[in-house]
Amino acid sequence: MDNVNVIAAPAVAGALVLSGRFQRPLSFGLDQLRRYESVVASPFDLRCYTTNRFIRSVEPYRGVRLTTLITEAGLPDSVPGEFKRTVFVAVGHDGYVVTFSWHELFNTPVGENVMVAYECGGRALDAEDGAPILFSGSDILPAPRHVKRLARIEAHVLASLT
């Protein structure tokens, strides 16, 4: 797609950066995210994994699939098949971190419901509302992988420790 920024300098504030072992590190502002094909989530109850605490009910999100953004940046390809050893680390503006594997995103139904959301219940979200929000709609308890103010997706290619 046009109008994505190949990163040459620190990204602008509020942008989502795809960095690490991508073919083309990219950064996306909220308006750029809105230009991609969108998906709509089902409404859900936000509930904490650690405490099982009910936080609030959330209206349907609209956003772009995480796999769409990853594909735009290009999966690691310096060694044949290494993309299958890639782990994606999502980082919030506050340093909060969650993980996804390549298999989970591209080779299970979970990935079809992982989105970067910029709209909720038909209303646009801005940075004060927590946008962009990473949301994994197939998770049993959604709060941990509901990352407010998503700042970065890092691609790490794992190797065996032995």
Residues engaged in binding Mo ion (CB under 5 A): 48, 50, 143
**If contact means CB under 5 to 8 A according to the sort of partner, which of Mo ion, ligand MTE, none does residue 146 touch?**
ligand MTE
Q: How far is the CB of 21 from ligand MTE (least distance, A)?
A: 23
Number of H helices, E strands in the chain: 3, 14
Q: How far is the CB of 146 from Mo ion (least distance, A)?
A: 9
Residue closer to ligand MTE, measured from CB, 148 or 156: 148
Residue closer to Mo ion, measured from CB, 48 or 87: 48
Count other Cβ atoms within 10 Å, centred on residue 142. 20
Q: How far is the CB of 114 from ligand MTE (least distance, A)?
A: 14
**If contact means CB under 5 to 8 A according to the sort of partner, which of ligand MTE, Mo ion, none does residue 77 touch?**
none
Alpha helices in the chain (DSSP H): 30-33, 66-73, 102-107
Q: How far is the CB of 102 from ligand MTE (least distance, A)?
A: 23
Q: Which of 142, 132, 126, 118 is nearest to 50 (CA)?
A: 142
Which one-letter amino acid corresponds to residue 34? R
Buried b / exposed e over 46-75, threshold 16 CB at 10 Å, is ebeeeeeeeeeebeebbbbbbbbbbebbbb
Count other Cβ atoms within 10 Å, centred on residue 141. 15
Residue closer to ligand MTE, measured from CB, 74 or 92: 92
**If contact means CB under 5 to 8 A according to the sort of partner, which of ligand MTE, Mo ion, none does residue 55 touch?**
ligand MTE
Binding site for ligand MTE (CB under 6 A): 48, 55, 92, 94, 96, 143-144, 146-149
